[in-house]
Amino acid sequence: MASQKKVKQVVIYTTTACVHCRRAKQFLRERGIAFREMDVSASQRARKELQRLGARGVPVLLVGGDRMDGFDPKRFLALYRE
């Protein structure tokens, strides 16, 4: 019986004006990777969570138990697939 790899949960903190956020979301959509978006420009809860993480800007991606500030496709895929 083949073992199935567990899919990591992906959360992305964004703002509507962030070009890098849009690029990251497009990358995820094109690859069929499910994600939960937390728009810090529209949600006080998202802002508080981002502040609690100590982030200085967006995008911030949580990939399973890992965190990536900014967006780099190769780095994201390494975190997602490990």
Residues 32-60: pLDDT tens digits? 999 999 999 999 999 999 999 999 999 99
Range(s) of the domain holding residue 41:
14-81
Task: Indicate whether 26 belongs to any domain.
Answer: yes
The whole-number pLDDT of residue 7 equals 78
- The total of structural domains in the chain comes to 1
Task: Indicate whether 62 belongs to any domain.
Answer: yes
Task: Indicate whether 7 belongs to any domain.
Answer: no
Residues 3-30: pLDDT tens digits? 456 779 999 999 999 999 999 999 999 9
Task: Indicate whether 49 belongs to any domain.
Answer: yes
Task: Indicate whether 4 belongs to any domain.
Answer: no
What number of other Cβ atoms are within 10 A of residue 9's Cβ?
12
pTM of the model: 0.90
Task: Indicate whether 6 belongs to any domain.
Answer: no
Between CA 77 and CA 71 the distance in angstroms is 11
27 — phi, psi (to 5°)? -60, -45
Task: Indicate whether 25 belongs to any domain.
Answer: yes
Assign 37 to helix, strand or coil: strand
Residue 62 has pLDDT above 80, yes or no: yes
Task: Indicate whether 33 belongs to any domain.
Answer: yes
